[in-house]
Structure 1
Amino acid sequence: MNTNEKLILTFYEAFKVKDFKTMGDCYHPEATFKDEAFDLKGKEIPAMWRMLCGVGASTIVEFSGVEADENTGKAHWEAWYTFSQSGNKVHNIIDATFTFKDGKIMTHRDKFSFYRWSSQSLGMIGKLLGWTPFLKKQVRERAMGNLKKFIAKHPEYQ
């Protein structure tokens, strides 16, 4: 097992136990993160994980398929949680890709079906509008707004 595979394993093992500090420490200071809801850089990334670990106390995370070489890596992970806005149960299935710099994660991309996620998390609205750019834009704006409020309360991420 190489050092980048160990880094990915460290990240997901920390995620399983909501250790947001260790998760954040896995990222390079100039890292970027992107998924269906967030497009982040630098300190925003550990702030997001801290925020999500705080609201998702009952989240269950499982991961598999960790592979990496000296430049790139990937993993498959799944999360089961209750979406805080609706109270709906969600099972999200995600494929992650990574690049590395100086022994840290430099880029992290999580890909999942926005339609499947929104159908579960938002119920009927997600089923009807989950395929539209309109709903995706609304979800992104709300997620980023929540993160900005969180960062404003936690100066260590500013």
Structure 2
Amino acid sequence: MHRNEALIKRFYCAFSRRDAATMAACYAPDAVFRDPAFELRGERIGQMWSMLTSQAGPDFKIEFEGVQADEQQGRAHWEADYTFSTSGRPVHNIIEARFTFENGLIKTHVDDFNFWRWSQQALGLPGLLLGWTPLLQNKVREQAAKRLERFAARKPA
């Protein structure tokens, strides 16, 4: 197994245990993370994982498979089941992750998922009607950024 493949597996095993510190340690100091809700750099990535894992409900569960990696890039398929805290609605999200590496750490991490599908589950009718629009996507990004800002302000460095 390539060391970067082992790194991805370590990351997702930590995620399934809600171990945000181990997840954050998998990233290079100047790493970049992007998904439909967040676009983050550096320590903000670890703060996001800390927020998400600490606020996940008891039904939170992830599964991953298809991990592949070489010296430059990697990929994984993962699925998350949880209750969306804002609406109390159940979500089953299907994500394709891509990675690049630098010095044995994650340099870039991009999670792609169907935002419209997610928004229908998480938000109900508003997601069904508006989830495909930039208006709702930008609103979700804005709210996620504010949530992370508040969370980071409460946590000691």
Fold match by TM threshold 0.5: yes
Q: Does 1:25 align with 2:25?
A: yes
Question: 1:86: Cα distance to partner?
Answer: 0.2
CA-based RMSD = 0.6
CA contact (8 A) 1:14 1:20 kept: yes
Counterpart in 2 of 1:153? 154
Query: How far, CA to CA, are the matches of 2:29 and 2:87 in structure 1?
Result: 34
- CA distance in 2 between counterparts of 1:150 and 1:90 reads 22
In the other structure, the counterpart of 1:35 is 35
Q: Residues of 2 paired with 1:41 and 1:5: CA distance? A: 22
When the two structures are aligned, how many residues end up with a matched partner? 156
Matched residues in 2 for 1:152 and 1:89: separation? 28
Work out the CA distance in 1 between the residues paired with 2:91 and 2:68. Answer: 26
Quote the sequence identity (%): 54
Aligned to 2:137: 136
The one-character-per-residue Cα deviations of 1:1-50 (angstroms, maximum 9, x if unpaired) are 01000000000000001011100000000000000000000000000000
TM-score, normalising length: structure 2: 0.98
Question: 5+ unaligned residues in a row in structure 1: which ranges?
Answer: none
Counterpart contact for 1:18–1:57, Cα < 8 Å: no
Alignment-derived partner of residue 127 in structure 1:
128
Question: 1: distance between equivalents of 2:89 and 2:10?
Answer: 29
Partners of 1:155 and 1:100 lie apart in 2 by 28
* CA-CA distance at 1:155 after TM superposition: 3.6
After superposition, where does 1:76-115 map in structure 2 within 5 Å? 76-115=77-116
Q: Which residue is equivalent to 2:61? A: 60
Structure 1 runs of 4+ aligned residues shifted over 3 Å read none
TM-score, normalised by the number of residues in structure 1: 0.97
Q: Which moved more, 1:135-144 or 1:51-60?
A: 51-60
Unmatched tracts of structure 2, length 5 or more: none
